[in-house]
Amino acid sequence: MLAENLGKSNDWDEIDEQIYLVSPDKWTMYFDGAVNLSGSGTGAVLISPEGQHYPVAAKLVFPCTNNISEYEACILGLQLAINMKVGKLQVYGDSALIIYQTEGEWQTRDVKLIPYHEYLEDLVKEFDKISFDYLPRSQNQFADALATLSSMLQVTDGLSVDPLQIDVLKKPVYCLMIEEELDGQPWYYDIMNYFREGKFP
């Protein structure tokens, strides 16, 4: 049907809308802020519909409360999503305050948080569709780890951290890294054979 419409219609807005409805283009974002004895930090993870992860983190070098660090984390993630031209976004965070304030269920009364909340509302308008859901901390571990690590960084002039590459390994590392022996068998072949058959080399 879409192919037929492409041949008949000159209304590109209509075609874009049809493509938009057909494509599974909903992104997901997790965010978290951390305040501890080492300092304050934020972390957010943007996940594409294909499962590609885009982590972002920042060290906060000004005094702030836990709620402010949570707002900073959410804003950091939303700014990344806007820069990547994400249209539909599902946001998860373990800050009930931010989630329920953004959904309009709670009111912002803390004068320090009002500017954050207003800026967050401006960012929300940049998306075609966005929703916020509360997530327990136990299910928000990646963003929590990013926020905690960034809070522990010691800030020095010219501090720069290269992008992090995180892989999920299906096998133990030693199986992937150790070279084979001359007879074509891995170094642990005799040990494995002993466990399987009880035979010494």
**Looking at the structure, do residues 94 and 173 belong to the same domain, yes or no?**
no
Task: Give tens-digit pLDDT for 45-80.
Answer: 888 998 888 888 888 888 888 888 889 999 999 999
**Looking at the structure, do residues 47 and 145 belong to the same domain, yes or no?**
yes
Position 12 in a domain: no
pLDDT above 80 (res 32): yes
pLDDT at 165: 56
**Looking at the structure, do residues 122 and 147 belong to the same domain, yes or no?**
yes
Q: List CB contacts of 96: < 8 A, sequence separation 6 or more.
A: 134
CATH number for the domain harbouring residue 127: 3.30.420.10
Position 9 in a domain: no
pLDDT above 90 (res 154): no
pLDDT at 28: 92
The pTM of the whole model exceeds 0.95: no
**Looking at the structure, do residues 117 and 201 belong to the same domain, yes or no?**
no
**Looking at the structure, do residues 103 and 181 belong to the same domain, yes or no?**
no
Residue 17 — pLDDT band, cuts 50, 70, 90? very low
**Looking at the structure, do residues 148 and 174 belong to the same domain, yes or no?**
no
* Among 96, 93, 106, residue whose Cα is nearest residue 42: 93
Q: Would residue 9 be called left, alpha or beta, if left means φ above 0 and alpha means ψ between -120 and 50 degrees?
A: beta
Position 13 in a domain: no
How many domains in the chain?
Answer: 2
Cα-based angle 23, 49, 76 (whole degrees, multiple of 5): 120
Q: Give the residue numbers spanning the domain of 178.
A: 167-201
Percent of the chain with pLDDT over 70: 68
**Looking at the structure, do residues 62 and 130 belong to the same domain, yes or no?**
yes
Position 21 in a domain: no
**Looking at the structure, do residues 147 and 175 belong to the same domain, yes or no?**
no
* Among 46, 103, 51, residue whose Cα is nearest residue 78: 46
- Report how far residue 95's alpha carbon sits from residue 107's, in angstroms, rounded to the nearest whole number: 14
* Among 99, 89, 88, residue whose Cα is nearest residue 136: 99
Mean pLDDT for the chain overall: 75
Position 195 in a domain: yes
**Looking at the structure, do residues 54 and 143 belong to the same domain, yes or no?**
yes
* Among 45, 103, 90, 42, residue whose Cα is nearest residue 68: 42
Question: What SS3 state is found at 60?
Answer: strand
**Looking at the structure, do residues 128 and 35 belong to the same domain, yes or no?**
yes
Among 152, 175, 191, which residue terminates a domain?
152
pLDDT at 38: 78
pLDDT at 55: 86
**Looking at the structure, do residues 200 and 119 belong to the same domain, yes or no?**
no
**Looking at the structure, do residues 77 and 122 belong to the same domain, yes or no?**
yes
Alpha helices by DSSP H, listed for 103-169, are 114-124, 141-152
Task: Give tens-digit pLDDT for 95-143.
Answer: 888 888 887 788 877 888 888 889 999 999 999 999 998 888 777 676 7
Position 193 in a domain: yes
